[in-house]
Structure 1
C-alpha cells in the first residue's frame, strides 16, 4: 500500500467556503441591481406618461385611503391658503452639476385627513453656485400645478420643517411645482430631475462578472494546488 505523498497540500476547505460566501454575495448584489432595474424602468415609464397626464384636483387624489407611495409622480392642482409663520429656509440641491437653492412654502389645503402641504416652488437662479446664500422671501403661493413626491424620498430638512407647524396635519408629501398662478418672481420651477440615470443593468453585469471572475480565479488556484 503506497504512502500519501509527503507535503502534498489537501483540499482547501477554508478557501472554498470563503469563495462560496463571496460568490453568493456578488450574485445577490447582481440580483438586487436587476430588481432596481425593473423599478427604475417603471419610474421612467411613469414619468414619461406624466408629461401628458392632466392635473387632478388635490382633494380628489389626497384621500384618507390613498397610500403615499402610490401617489408619487401624480400631477395635481391646488389652491393654496395662507399659513401663518416666518418664511421657510431654502433647500440645498444639485442640478446639472451646480449647487442650487430651492424655495419652499407651506400651502393650506383641505384634502383627506390633511390640512397642509409643503410646496417646493423651484430653483432660485440668482443663488446658483452660492455656498451660503442670504435669506430670500417670496410671495405666498396661490394656484399651483405640480407633481407629488413622498417627502422622505427628497431628503434635506423637509421633514424637520414640518415640525414648525405643530397645530397642522401636514401631508407626508411635497408638491413639486410645475407652474404657479401668479408666477412668483425670482423662482424657476424645476419639478423633475434634469436627467434620471438608469445604469442598473450595467451595475448588475458588473457584479455578475465579478462573480464569474471569482470562480475562474478559485478554479485556477485549486488546479495549481491539487495538480500532480
Structure 2
C-alpha cells in the first residue's frame, strides 16, 4: 500500500489565495472607516454657517466647508475648461483663478455646462467689479496616470497648478479648490453652479463581506478536498 501524502502544493496555493482574500477584505474595512469619516465631516460642515475663506482654511479642516468669497471680475475672468460628466451628461467645467490679498491664488470652479450649449462667458483682461458668491471648499483628487495631458486650456483631469499656469498665474496656488454654489454667470445659457455631492456612496461594507465570504468558501472547499484525500482508500 502506498502512503497517503499531505497535499503540500494544494495547501500552499490555498494559503496564498486566502491571504489575498483576507487582505482585500481588510482593505475594504479600512475604506469603510475612511468613507464614514468623510460622511461625518460633510454632515458637520453642512450645519456650519458660511465663513470667510481665510477663516475656513485656517481652521485646519476646510473640506466641505461653505465660504463667502469676493473675486474681482470673476464673471469675466479667463477660464480653462475641464472635461466632466454630470448625471450621465458629458460636458465641461469652467475654472478660473481668484487672486487673494496675500498674493496667492485660489482656483474657482464656476460651474458645469453640458455639451450642446455653445455660449461661454465673455473674457476681459481688465479688472472688473468685485463679485461676491458662496462656495464650497473641496480637496483635489490626484490625477490618474491614464489621464490625457491638457490641450492648451482644455483639461481632462483637475490640476490646480497646471490650470493656474495655463491662465498665466505665477504666484503660489492653493491646493484647495472652491466650487461656486451660487451663479457666477447667470446670463450664460446652460452654465450652472455644480458642487459634487458630499453624500458619497458607501458600499465598502458589502465589498468587505464579499471578500471575507469568499475566504470562508475557500476554507470550506479546502477542508472538503483535504478530507476526501485523506479518507480515500490508499492505492494497493
TM-score range (shorter-chain normalised) is 0.7 to 0.9
Q: Is the 8 A contact 2:39 2:198 kept in 1?
A: no
Q: How many residues align?
A: 211
- Structure 1 gaps, min length 5: none
* Separation in 1, partners of 2:82, 2:188: 18
* Separation in 2, partners of 1:79, 1:154: 29
- Decide whether aligned partners of structure 1 residues 194 and 55 sit closer, same or farther in structure 2, where only a CA change above 3 A counts: closer
* Separation in 1, partners of 2:92, 2:230: 63
Q: 1:137 aligns with which of 110, 113, 121?
A: 121
* 1:177-207 CA distance string (max 9 Å, x none): 1114675633211112386211111101000
- Decide whether aligned partners of structure 1 residues 194 and 102 sit closer, same or farther in structure 2, where only a CA change above 3 A counts: farther
Say whether 1:146 aligns with 2:135. yes
What is the deviation of 1:71? 2.1
* Separation in 2, partners of 1:41, 1:120: 26
- Decide whether aligned partners of structure 1 residues 49 and 37 sit closer, same or farther in structure 2, where only a CA change above 3 A counts: same
Q: 1:176 aligns with which of 175, 179, 196?
A: 179
**TM superposition score normalised by structure 2:** 0.77
* Separation in 1, partners of 2:224, 2:120: 65
Q: 2:96 aligns with which of 78, 81, 105?
A: 105
- Decide whether aligned partners of structure 1 residues 58 and 170 sit closer, same or farther in structure 2, where only a CA change above 3 A counts: same
* Separation in 2, partners of 1:171, 1:71: 12
* Separation in 2, partners of 1:194, 1:44: 7
* Separation in 2, partners of 1:52, 1:107: 26
What is the deviation of 1:134? 5.8
* Separation in 2, partners of 1:154, 1:191: 19
Say whether 1:37 aligns with 2:26. no
* 1:117-163 CA distance string (max 9 Å, x none): 10011211xx34x6xx8683346882231111122358714332133
Q: Which residue of structure 2 aligns with residue 87 of structure 1?
A: 78
Q: Is the 8 A contact 2:28 2:205 kept in 1?
A: yes
Q: 2:163 aligns with which of 158, 161, 164?
A: 161
* Separation in 2, partners of 1:177, 1:86: 14
- Structure 2 gaps, min length 5: 145-156
Q: Which residue of structure 1 aligns with residue 49 of structure 2?
A: 54
